C-alpha cells in the first residue's frame, strides 16, 4: 500500500496495525551504510515507521527483533545524531 493520507495512517495506528519491519520493507538496504535518505525509504521511515517505533515502550521495541544494524540506525535517529556511514 502506498499512501500519503495522514488520516489512513493514523487509523492504522489506532487499530494497532504494525508496519512491517524495515528489513522486510527494504531487504536490499544495508542499514549500516545509510546516511541521508531520499525517495521511498525516506517517506516510509518518516511517515510510517518512526511514528510507530517512537510510540513503543522499550520492551515492545525489543519484541520487534530488529537486526542489530537497524537497531543502531534507529537509535542514531532517535538520539538526534547523524547515522554513521
The strand ranges marked E within 5-81 are none
Mean pLDDT of 5-12: 81
Domain count within the chain: 1
- Domain range for residue 51? 6-79
Residue 1 lies in a domain: no
Residue 84 lies in a domain: no
pTM for the model stands at 0.69
Residue 85 lies in a domain: no
SS3 content of the chain, % helix, strand, coil (to 5): 60, 0, 40
- Per-residue pLDDT reduced to its tens digit, 23-32: 998 898 888 7
Quote the distance between the C-alpha of residue 25 and its chain's center: 9
Straight-line distance from the first to the last Cα atom of the chain, in angstroms, rounded to the nearest whole number: 30
Amino acid at each position: 500500500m502506498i499512501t500519503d493520507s495522514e488520516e489512513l495512517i493514523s487509523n492504522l495506528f489506532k487499530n494497532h496495525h504494525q508496519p512491517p519491519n524495515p528489513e522486510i520493507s527494504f531487504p536490499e538496504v544495508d542499514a549500516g551504510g545509510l546516511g541521508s535518505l531520499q525517495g521511498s525509504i525516506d517517506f516510509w521511515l518518516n511517515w510510517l515507521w518512526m511514528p510507530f517505533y517512537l510510540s513503543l515502550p522499550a520492551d515492545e521495541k525489543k519484541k520487534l527483533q530488529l537486526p542489530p544494524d537497524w537497531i543502531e540506525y534507529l537509535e542514531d535517529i532517535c538520539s538526534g545524531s547523524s547515522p554513521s556511514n
